Structure 1
Amino acid sequence: MPELPEVEALAGFLRERAVGSVVAAVEVAAVSVLKTHDPPPSALAGQELTGVVRRGTWLDLDVSGLHLCVHMARAGWLRWSESLPAAAARPGRGVVALRVRLDDGAVDERLAAQGRLPGFDLTEAGPRKELAVHVARDPRQVPAIAALGPDPLDPAFDVEALAALLTGSRQQVEGLLRDQTALAGVGDACSDEVLHAARLSPFALAGRLGAEEVQRLWTALREVLPAAVAASAGRPAAELEDAQRAGMRVHGRTGEPCPACGDVVREVSFADRSLQYCATCQTGGVPLADRRTSRFLR
């Protein structure tokens, strides 16, 4: 699932490449991705793309006051093209769910007449159809955006704010980090990386962390996330997923040596996801038990 660093980089890419363009057309190839019907996607046509921001793991494209809000879930992605196919996106044809054609005023008139405009496709691979697209007059009309917790990159999110968030929580810290209503933007990969940097067990109870552990967790959030954003900044959309994987220290690296201590990176598997950690760095050298067979270490 695209997380805070990749979505921030996508927002930056679109700000640089697409802001100032006029939406020439919006073509819906998978009606299931549309979670709203008023205003319709066609209302965006003829309007200027005036801004792009990240809200948690959501992209919010401001189109002359209307908002195209996109959440890519586990298998969605944004695929940019300098010259989209002339043929309209059609239902049941491949992975394209929605296509946005943009007129930046620089396209040759002959190509423009053929529909060969720049723009992007929203794609979704695999059987789970979770890609979500909302057209709203206010992004706060999207329930998932309205429910977002604080952004860990917000300058106002200091160590005291994190401590207040953790106080009294009965969640395991890994689950709390991934809870978008608690903290916006952190998913499976970022939580693995942050907890490794903070030297905390994924299954430590959030409400029982001591002051020194809370400080380590806040420091890790403010170091790992900005570094990942910086590593992704300026890259074309097509390169962002590979750039994310290349920068990971433990996430997705089961069986490889921990870059901090050399111990093997271990994994705990769940029904539809997994997490990675280093026992030496995070759990006092004791491997965590797999949830499917035994109880967690705290």
Structure 2
Amino acid sequence: MPEMPEVQGLVDFLHQQLMPPDAAPAVIAEVEVLSFSVLKTAAVPLAELGAGPVSSVGRRGKFLVIGAGEAQLVIHLARAGWLRWSNALKPGPLRPGAGPIAVRVRFAAHDGSGAQPGFDLTEAGTRKSLAVHVVHQLEDVPGIARLGPEALDVPRRDFARMVAGYGGQIKGLLRDQTALAGIGNAYSDEVLHAARISPFAIAGKLDAAAVDQLFDAMHGILDAAVADAAGRPASQLKDSKRSSLRVHARAGEDCPVCDGTIREVSFADSSLQYCPGCQTGGKLLADRRTSRFLK
């Protein structure tokens, strides 16, 4: 799932393509929707996106936001969605059901060749969660209206109060978009490993030193990931993320910090990874495939 650093990388890349410093901003020529379940709004017509040039490319949490005309194109890539850029899309309409493309966004040709740049929104797998909204106000997107503050914008003191007041597991807090916007399953694993905290630790029971470690780890992991994504083309962002992860999706591999083995806890529709040596004092955390949970 793309998380804040990858979405910020997409923002940086699209800003270069759509709002270059030495040329006029791009204009959306067409939005072609092949999977109508992806489009979550109907009040604002798609045609409004072509009423003026692109005026902004930004992000809120894990939502990508492109402003054009009086409207905003809001994209949530969800679990398996991605943005695939092309400097010259093939002419002609797409055939529904011909592949993983759910939406195609074309921009007007600008270099005299007639070639139209643009991007496809794709989604792999059978579980479809990719969402596209066309709105006038960001708050008209329910997912954005519910978002908490950006994870990197929360002051240390407010973060400590947030952790102290949360009664569930600390991994749940890090992933809770209504509390902290932008962190998902992968980076919550990375942050907890860097902080040497069990994902099953109860947030409200962490002492002040552990909360400080967690705050510093969150900033260190996310700042490094954002810096790594900066300047990369969209086609490289997913592979760059995968190669930089130290524990997430690396069950069975050696921990890069200690001599332990990275372990996994599986849930109904997701999993987490952790290092017993670094995070749980050597204890293994049981998952749904067993009949008990270890303390």
Alignment TM-score > 0.5, same fold: yes
* Alignment partners' CA distance in 2, 1:90 and 1:141: 31
> Is 190-199 or 90-99 further displaced after alignment?
90-99
Q: For 1:40-55, what aligned pairs fall within 5 Å after superposition?
A: 40-55=45-60
How large is the Cα RMSD of the aligned pairs?
Answer: 1.2
Q: What secondary structure sits across from 2:103 in the alignment?
A: strand
Q: What's the % identity of the aligned pairs?
A: 54
* Alignment partners' CA distance in 1, 2:266 and 2:68: 41
Match of 1:175 among 161, 172, 177: 172
Structure 2 residue 293 is the aligned partner of structure 1 residue 288: no
In structure 2, the partner of 1:5 is: 5
Structure 2 residue 134 is the aligned partner of structure 1 residue 129: no
| Cα deviation code 1:27-85 (max 9, x no counterpart) | 11111100000112122124211111111110011112311000011111000000011
Contact 2:265 2:287 in 1 (8 A): yes
* Alignment partners' CA distance in 2, 1:222 and 1:54: 18
Structure 2 residue 218 is the aligned partner of structure 1 residue 221: yes
In structure 1, the partner of 2:234 is: 237
* Alignment partners' CA distance in 2, 1:103 and 1:231: 31
In structure 2, the partner of 1:138 is: 137
The code of the aligned residue for 1:152 comes to A
Structure 1 residue 139: Cα displacement? 0.7
Contact 2:193 2:247 in 1 (8 A): yes
> Is 89-98 or 270-279 further displaced after alignment?
89-98
Contact 2:48 2:69 in 1 (8 A): no
Contact 1:289 1:297 in 2 (8 A): yes
Contact 1:159 1:214 in 2 (8 A): no
Structure 2 residue 61 is the aligned partner of structure 1 residue 56: yes
The code of the aligned residue for 1:130 comes to S
Q: What secondary structure sits across from 1:100 in the alignment?
A: strand
Contact 1:78 1:121 in 2 (8 A): yes
The code of the aligned residue for 2:108 comes to D
Q: What secondary structure sits across from 2:99 in the alignment?
A: coil
* Alignment partners' CA distance in 2, 1:100 and 1:46: 14
Structure 1 residue 107: Cα displacement? 4.1
| Cα deviation code 1:202-223 (max 9, x no counterpart) | 0001111111111011001110
* Alignment partners' CA distance in 2, 1:164 and 1:44: 41
Distance 1:44 1:264, change over 3 A: same
Match of 1:28 among 33, 37, 40: 33
* Alignment partners' CA distance in 2, 1:60 and 1:294: 44
> Is 38-47 or 75-84 further displaced after alignment?
38-47
The code of the aligned residue for 1:254 comes to A
In structure 1, the partner of 2:22 is: none
> Is 288-297 or 69-78 further displaced after alignment?
288-297
The code of the aligned residue for 2:17 comes to R
Contact 1:203 1:296 in 2 (8 A): no
* Alignment partners' CA distance in 1, 2:136 and 2:61: 19
Structure 1 residue 294: Cα displacement? 3.6
Q: What secondary structure sits across from 2:151 in the alignment?
A: coil
In structure 2, the partner of 1:153 is: 152
Gap regions ≥5 residues in structure 1: none
Following TM superposition, where does structure 1 have runs of at least 4 consecutive aligned residues deviating by more than 6 angstroms?
Answer: none
| Cα deviation code 1:169-223 (max 9, x no counterpart) | 1110111111111110100100000000000000001111111111011001110
